[in-house]
Amino acid sequence: MTPVILKKHAGFTLLEVILSVALSSLIILTVYFTYFGINKSIDAASEGQDVLEAGRILMELIKQDIRGISPPPKAQLISKIDDKETEDPSHRIDFITTSVMGRNTFGLSEVGYFIYNIPEKKEKIFVRRESKEVKDDPTEGGTNYELSKMITSFKLSFYDGVDWVDEWDSRSASKMPRQVRIMLKIKDDKGFTKEFVTDEVVPSAL
């Protein structure tokens, strides 16, 4: 009779267990960080899209109003730097335009753009001023409409045909700038910041 030989089944060694646990932990961590990274990228893309969309809409609105700046003798454009003592001063611009938004029966309206600061709330509001009543001084009156709380800087430059200047007053210059350079800096609640810069021709000055 042939004897039956029973084989002894060996268990996992301590080293094998430690290696298995370490490998499993590494896989779990890799999956976690990959998932976290993807979610973060999706959130960042979404936030960035909001800033890009806001910048595109605001730029187009300002450019539309500038394109409609009325020709002489009704032409008026006054722009200056507000709060020059602050660390990052912004511009204010006021002008008479034939833009289709809010104009009176004569096809004209006063339009202005500026940043309104609320120091106690540490808040900035980008405002569009509009008036159907066209006056000799296009900087007064009208109604202010809040456009965005995401704008942190609004800067302008004006091309006179030779040089770019930071401020403009058509009353003393006796002419309109040929081009206006617009710069908007936008920041969302998560800190995503984007700067938009574009040049717009003033047709009535050509």
Asked if residue 152 belongs to a domain, the reply is yes
Asked if residue 69 belongs to a domain, the reply is yes
Asked if residue 44 belongs to a domain, the reply is no
Q: Is 105:168 a contact under the CB 8 Å cutoff?
A: no
Listed residue (52, 92, 80, 102) closest to 168, CA to CA:
80
**What is the rounded average pLDDT for all residues in the chain?**
82
The domain containing residue 195 runs over which residues?
A: 50-205
Asked if residue 3 belongs to a domain, the reply is no
Query: How does pLDDT run across 163-184, given as a tens digit for each residue?
Result: 999 999 998 888 999 999 999 9
Burial 84-123 (b: 16+ CB within 10 A, else e): eeeeeebbbbbbbbbbeebbeeeebbbbbbbbeeeeeeee
Average of per-residue pLDDT across 152-169: 95
Residue 45 predicted with pLDDT over 60:
no
Asked if residue 144 belongs to a domain, the reply is yes
The string of DSSP codes covering 30-69 is HHHHHHHHHHHHHHHHHHHHHHHHHHHHHHHHHHHHHHTB
pLDDT of 106 reads 64
Asked if residue 67 belongs to a domain, the reply is yes
Asked if residue 62 belongs to a domain, the reply is yes
Q: Please name every residue paired with 23 in a beta bridge, in sequence order, or none if there are none.
A: none
pLDDT of 180 reads 97
> CB-based contacts of 85: which residues, under 8 Å, 6+ apart?
none
Identify which has the larger pLDDT, 145 or 134.
Answer: 145
- Token code pair at residue 104: 């009176």
Asked if residue 77 belongs to a domain, the reply is yes
Q: How many domains does the chain have?
A: 1
Identify which has the larger pLDDT, 199 or 188.
Answer: 199
Residue 201 — very low, low, confident or very high, per pLDDT cuts 50/70/90? very high
Q: Please name every residue paired with 96 in a beta bridge, in sequence order, or none if there are none.
A: 110
Q: At which residue do the structure tokens 């700046």 appear?
A: 69
